Amino acid sequence: MSKWLRKLPLAAFVAVLAYFVVWPLVMLQQRAVEDGGRGYDVAFNTDGVGQVIWDTILLAGASTLIATVLGTGLAWAVTRLPSWLQWMRVLPLLPIVMPMVAVVLGWTFLLSPRPGFLNSLMRKLPWWNDLDSGPVDVYSFWWIVLITGFALTAFVFLFVSTGMQNVSADHVEAAHTNGARGTRAFFTIVFPLLRPSLIQGIGVSFLLGIGQFTAPLLLGANSGIDVVATWMLMFTASSPIDYGAAAAIGSPLLVVGLVVIVAQRVALGDQGRFVTHGGKGFRSAGKPSVWAVLAVGFYFLVSTLLPLLALVVVALSPYWTGTPDTFTLDNIKTVLTDDRIVDAIRTSIVASLGAALLILPVGFVAALVMVRNQHNRVLRWLLDVIVALPLGVPAVVFGVGFLLAYTTGPFILYGTTWVMVLVYATLMLPFATRTLLSGLIALGDTYIAASRTCGASPFQTGLRILMPLLRGSIAGAGAIIFVMLTHEFSASLLVRAPTVQVMGTLLYDYWTNGMFPVVAAMALVMTAVTGIGVAIAMLIGGRNVMQNL
């Protein structure tokens, strides 16, 4: 009996997590199959469903391919930067700090067929001076793919650049000695050793692509382009609301997410095969390259600087026109003084901070169980699956699941900030746990053993020993949680209520009403809030917080 009593706290912890993570998905499937599967009949017999599914797959696959090629190339390029330009290593990470909704809006202001700034400039060239609009249409499918691919590039870069730092320079130098230089050394030595990082980066990018919501919603609506995620919103926003059809059309995304997670684990297999040992960290086999500087600079220009400048110009203009000639601060003042917008900003910050404060201790306990508890294998396996689940399920699917779970008993939270906090915390569970898990593994057992020898309880050890030593990991986890939650758009749009808005959902309302200068100003505020959050995390956890993301 005492053996089972010792397992009881861990079982209770796993059960509580399972309720918050799994129950919304159960509710989703329950609503889809009720009334004899009426939700599936409606969803998959609606005109155009085949095209929607095909566009979703094509968007995810093509954008992941773009992100993989660019992210891997940028990870290699930053190793060829001159010593006096090492600060440019952070530039490929900046798209993560800039909200996706801000990037999409920035490119809309640049390449909208008639008033887009770049289109207006290109129509002055002799090749296109006879055109009334264009020559580029940002509302086309392939521009949606391209913008999504550029945004996902930063995630692949994170995985590949981190993996590259773990490749010993001895291997590259050996290849150099044997005549393999530059790109040949990369493809014959470095690239095969990056397989775990590539698999993880590609998997994350594909999952983000398959659940992509922002670009298809803001750009595709003008040209009738839809994906599964936007159809889920359509069914929940239609009159009458059809939750069964929304749940049914989201089911393929749930299945694909689970398949990707399993495929990742099978493909990785024994990661020990990719471990290299050496006394020196990774160093490129080639000399500093001007092409590397140009590649990193061009990516920064396209992914961050141009859309940011477009937002600034529109935010400072009384109207959005292709050739602004007057500027004003009225839109900035509106964003900072309008009660509705200020409330949305406050709700975003409160919900993001609340979710971070809630999920960081939970993630710490989950990571501690995975590292230290080697006896309860079944519970550890269940915990691992539950923690990984939100990473494999698109946020829009969780949004509908939470909407169904918390509009009925036992917890009716719809219309309160709490539903935002809970859905945010659930979405961030894998990021908090994995970041802290890496820190605990790197820390080893020495400090814990010493603390126990001195008579400290597990609680005292965690509070006085582990948490101070894990300050960098905790700050890194807090940074990524705050960054991603202040960006969060898809799940927020589904669980919001008229009285509970966050920055992204209110921005969408203003966008649909055509208030473009105010929208641009709000997007800048979102970017500023995220940047301030990262700066605070860097003060707490050190300059490596961005790399720890």
Which of the two residues, 177 and 146, has the higher pLDDT score?
A: 146
Over residues 507-541, the pLDDT tens digits come to 888 888 888 898 899 888 888 887 777 777 666 65
pLDDT at 275 over 70: no
Residue 10: pLDDT band (50, 70, 90) is: confident
Residue 271: pLDDT band (50, 70, 90) is: very low
Residue 65: pLDDT band (50, 70, 90) is: very high
pLDDT at 87 over 50: yes
pLDDT at 62 over 90: yes
Over residues 11-51, the pLDDT tens digits come to 788 888 888 888 888 888 888 787 777 878 888 888 888 88
Sequence-distant (6+) residues with CB within 8 A of 503 are: 344, 345, 348, 486, 522, 525, 526, 529
Angle at 514 between CA 510 and CA 516, to 5 degrees: 75
- Rounded distance between C-alpha atoms, residue 516 and residue 114, angstroms: 15
Residue 146: pLDDT band (50, 70, 90) is: very high
> Hunting for tokens 């894998």 — which residue is that?
430
What are the DSSP calls for 105-131, one per residue?
Answer: HHHHHHH-TTT-HHHHHHTTSTTTTT-
Over residues 328-356, the pLDDT tens digits come to 888 888 888 888 888 888 888 888 888 88
Query: What is the DSSP code (8-state) at residue 269?
Result: -
Distances from the Cα of 165 to the Cα of 195, 197, 328, angstroms: 14, 11, 47
Q: How confident is the prediction for the chain on average, in pLDDT?
A: 78
pLDDT at 314 over 50: yes
Residue 546: pLDDT band (50, 70, 90) is: low
pLDDT at 466 over 80: no
pLDDT at 399 over 70: yes
Q: Which two tokens stand for residue 504?
A: 């992204």
Q: What is the 3-state secondary structure (H, E, C) of 63-106?
A: HHHHHHHHHHHHHHHHHHCCHHHHHHHHHHHHHHHCCHHHHHHH
Residue 280: pLDDT band (50, 70, 90) is: very low
> Taking a C-beta distance cutoff of 8 angstroms, is the pair 148, 209 a contact?
yes
Q: By C-alpha distance, which of 139, 514, 388, 460 is closest to 468?
A: 460
Over residues 421-434, the pLDDT tens digits come to 888 888 888 878 87
pLDDT average, residue stretch 475-504: 78
Over residues 111-125, the pLDDT tens digits come to 888 888 888 888 888
pLDDT at 364 over 70: yes
pLDDT at 4: 54
pLDDT at 277: 45
pLDDT at 272: 45
- Domain locations in the chain as residue ranges: 46-315
Considering 106-110, 244-248, 528-532, the range whose residues carry the highest mean pLDDT is 106-110
Residue 278: pLDDT band (50, 70, 90) is: very low
Query: What is the DSSP code (8-state) at residue 241?
Result: -
pLDDT at 204: 79
- Rounded distance between C-alpha atoms, residue 231 and residue 337, angstroms: 35
pLDDT at 325: 76
Q: Where is average pLDDT lowest: 170-184, 323-337, 404-418?
A: 170-184
pLDDT at 161 over 80: no
Residue 66: pLDDT band (50, 70, 90) is: very high
426-438 burial, b at 16+ Cβ within 10 Å, e below that, comes to bbbbbbbbbbbbb
Q: How many CB atoms lie within 10 A of CB 422?
A: 24
Using N-to-C axis directions, what is the helix angle for 228-237 and 243-268, rounded to 10°? 150
Over residues 197-210, the pLDDT tens digits come to 777 778 878 888 88
The DSSP bridge partners found for residue 497 are: 500
Give the architecture (CATH level 2) of 46-315.
Orthogonal Bundle (1.10)
Distances from the Cα of 473 to the Cα of 142, 309, 387, 438, 440, angstroms: 38, 33, 18, 8, 9
